[in-house]
Structure 1
Amino acid sequence: MTTVHITDSTSPPEGWRILGFGKHPDTAAAVQAHLRGQGLRARNFALTDDAEGDAALVGHLTDGEYDGILIGSYINGQNPSEPPTPDTTAWFNRILNITHLHAPTAKLILVRDPADALTTIENVLGPPGPAAPRTSGAGGAQPTGQEV
């Protein structure tokens, strides 16, 4: 028996599947637009440090499969202008455990600066494949300044 694979030309790009989150909604949206413009299948959102945020994270993690989980610098403690506190450290530890439980095969990707999100992803997962070519200057604004 022969298996035939049919590809629909309207299918989404086959780049890395990335779920990203951080504290700031505007930065999450800018990072998502930039990563999608580079051919990645990215979903980014702002996460809150409460039961609703935990539920939203679980919902996103169980809604699909991801190659990488992108965690913004405020949450992961790498934001040089906002050092970690006991509260953010507890939040980060909780997020790591939720992520490990619901996406055990996804790679964790800690972002220090939103402008470096794509480079950081490539450092962990490798460059995008042929189906997800990088383009220069396309795909939305390059995120800068705030955390993911």
Structure 2
Amino acid sequence: MLAIGATKNMAAEAQNYLITLGYKNSKLLGVYNTAESDQELITALKEKQWDAISIGGYVNGYDQSVQFNDKNVPSDRAEILLWFNRVLNIIHELAPKSKIILVKSPQDIHDGVQRIMGAEQK
């Protein structure tokens, strides 16, 4: 599973959480609203055929409570929507067979995987 979320710090926190749950075949990628970050996502998508791709709550627009003090992470709802649409279309283009999992927070990744993929994805 490839999981993406806003910022590298949040991705590291989520990666540690998944390791404690026993997920071995996962990669977490912290993304930003930049061309460079889009390229990192493209590179990760080309690494392998991912069974599932999780998109974090801030990137997918669900989590409105978190505030990032980073110029490359938008806070405007309209800008977040554009960012999410761009990320989603990059994923759709490069990983059309992957299941998409929208999560609420890093702590929701496991439940999100269970909702979409079932227990076999650990």
Q: How would you bin the TM-score normalised by the shorter chain?
A: 0.7 to 0.9
Task: Name the Cα RMSD after superposition.
Answer: 1.7
Partner of 1:116: 108
CA contact (8 A) 1:66 1:103 kept: yes
CA contact (8 A) 1:21 1:28 kept: yes
Q: TM-score, normalised by structure 2?
A: 0.83
Partner of 2:9: 26
CA contact (8 A) 1:74 1:84 kept: no
Aligned partner letter, 1:121: V
Match of 2:19 among 36, 52, 66: 36
SS in 1 for 2:84: helix
CA distance in 2, matches of 1:34, 1:80: 21
CA contact (8 A) 1:35 1:41 kept: no
Aligned partner letter, 1:54: D
**Larger-Rg structure:** 1
SS in 2 for 1:88: helix
CA distance in 2, matches of 1:101, 1:114: 25
Aligned partner letter, 2:13: A
Higher alpha-carbon deviation: 118-127 or 38-47: 38-47
Kindly report which structure 2 residues correspond to 1:66-81, keeping only aligned pairs within 5 A, or say none: 66-81=50-65
Aligned partner letter, 2:80: T
SS in 2 for 1:128: helix
CA spacing shift, 1:48–1:80, aligned 2, 3 Å: closer
Mark the runs of 5 or more structure 2 residues left unpaired by the alignment.
Answer: 67-74
CA contact (8 A) 2:29 2:41 kept: no
Offset at residue 27 of structure 1 (A): 2.1
Q: TM-score, normalised by structure 1?
A: 0.70
How many residues get paired? 113
CA contact (8 A) 1:20 1:43 kept: yes
Mark the runs of 5 or more structure 1 residues left unpaired by the alignment.
Answer: 1-17, 133-148
CA contact (8 A) 2:52 2:101 kept: yes
Matched, 1:56 2:29: no
Which structure carries more helix by proportion?
A: 2
Matched, 1:95 2:87: yes
